[in-house]
Amino acid sequence: MEPVSGAFLLPVCGLTIACVTATVLLWPRLARPGPRRLLARSGMLLATQALMTACAVLLANRYFVFYATWNDLLGGDTARVRVEQVQPNGGVRAGTAGLVRRMSTDLGPRRRGGDRDPAEDGRVDLLWFRGARSGLDSEVYVYLPPQYFQAAYATRRLPVVMLLADGASGDAARAPAGGAMAWLRQGRLPAAADAAERPGTAQPMIYAMVGRAHGCIDPAGRPARTSGLTETLLAQDVPEALAGTYRLPRTRKGWGLVGFAAGGQCAARLAMLHSDRFAAAAAINGRFGLPGTPPADAGDGPDGDPYGGSRAYRLDNDLLWRLENLPPPPVAVLAAAGTGGEDAREAERFTALVRPPMAAGKILVPGAPGTLRQWRDHLPQVLEWTSGRLQSE
């Protein structure tokens, strides 16, 4: 019975209503003077306020999913930690030159009335590592589907999808893993993956949720310690850390990206500029012009410009300009947006510019969903499209 479950919330809300009702009914009897009645009135007021506050906090937590489990709230996870090497060695354990720390969490799905079994429920891991090329520390949540642990798939290398959330989705500016947790807390990713696979149209895939706190490009003319080489982290360090820890595809045909808002723009950009690494990308509420960057510490001038004052480098990062002026890469990109906003027009413009060997898809949903929670019901459709463009080995 987790803090977001109805089995816990209903009794708390029912007790709150009963306490308020009792206070209203008994107050006239306790209105007379006397120390006992004063204590009774004070106790009733404190109990009512405490229960109403708890009820409001729990309902807010259920809506925003700040804490999905009691271990998430209390920090009581005692899962085992194992160290692996960050190298693209196909999931084979190597030496200790570059290290990844892996911790199994209890954030994954769980069958009612039974213990957790990865072969039935899947598993969510948390990885910590420092990028060998970018020098950036990174935290990645990895959802491994049940098939990864089943004997029938023991020799299969399932496709892997890196998921990038908007930094605002989880306060990634202060805690990079916050943006990654948005896929679990707001998007309910394991449930979305299961819904995509249930009709038999999507294959099982591994999902790596990456927290971003430094934009999506390697700023020119600025030291790495100032803003971080985020593009290098996402395009090289994260895939190598994943490939060195899990049984993943060896070629680009099994690697894809899905991003939301600024993360959607980043996903499309990484696929287009690194088609040797990724085969497909899906951008949810993404824009396709120049990527957003964090404020520069250096102020005005070339040192404060993420493009180093170079017009050529600036245009090179504009995906719409690239589609109009450069040969298209051999990747597939999905533009997903709501029909009620600017994102839909951006998706229309982007897909209209695509030409072979690049392929494009478009998903327009009613309204203007602006959060991962509002996109939750549509995520299976996005994952199904992504699955159709990736191959297992």
* Alpha helices per DSSP H over 154-213: 176-185, 189-197
Dihedral sign for Cα 98, 104, 108, 109, please. Answer: positive
Question: Above 90 in pLDDT, residue 6?
Answer: no
Residue 3, preceding peptide bond in cis (omega within 30° of 0): no
Residue 54 CA: distances (Å) to CA of 16, 48, 186, 195, 363: 9, 10, 21, 33, 40
Rounded Cα gap, residues 42 and 37, in angstroms: 8
Q: Please state, in angstroms and rounded to a whole number, the distance separating the CA atoms of residues 24 and 241.
A: 60
Q: Which string of b and e fits 141-159 if b means at least 16 CB within 10 Å? A: bbbbbbbbbeeebeebbbb
pLDDT (tens digit, 9 = 90+) per residue, 170-202? 444 444 445 788 899 889 999 999 999 987 789
Enumerate the domain spans of the chain.
6-64, 78-387
Distances (CA, A) of 330 to 167, 232, 250, 262: 28, 21, 18, 23
Token pair for 312: 């050529």
Q: How far apart are the first and last CA of the chain?
A: 39
Task: Give the per-residue pLDDT at 306.
Answer: 73
The amino acid that residue 235 corresponds to is A
DSSP class of 307: B
Lowest-confidence pick of 19-33, 213-227, 341-355: 213-227
What count of residues does the chain have?
A: 393
Q: Of 35-39, 67-71, 96-100, 374-378, which range is least confident? A: 96-100
Three-state secondary-structure class, residue 317: coil
User: pLDDT tens digit string along 7-35?
Assistant: 788 889 999 999 999 888 888 888 888 88
92 pLDDT tier (thresholds 50, 70, 90)? very low
370 closest CA partner among 328, 341, 348: 341
Per-residue pLDDT reduced to its tens digit, 123-173: 999 999 888 888 888 889 999 999 999 999 999 999 999 999 875 444 444
What kind of fold does domain 78-387 have according to CATH?
Rossmann fold (3.40.50)
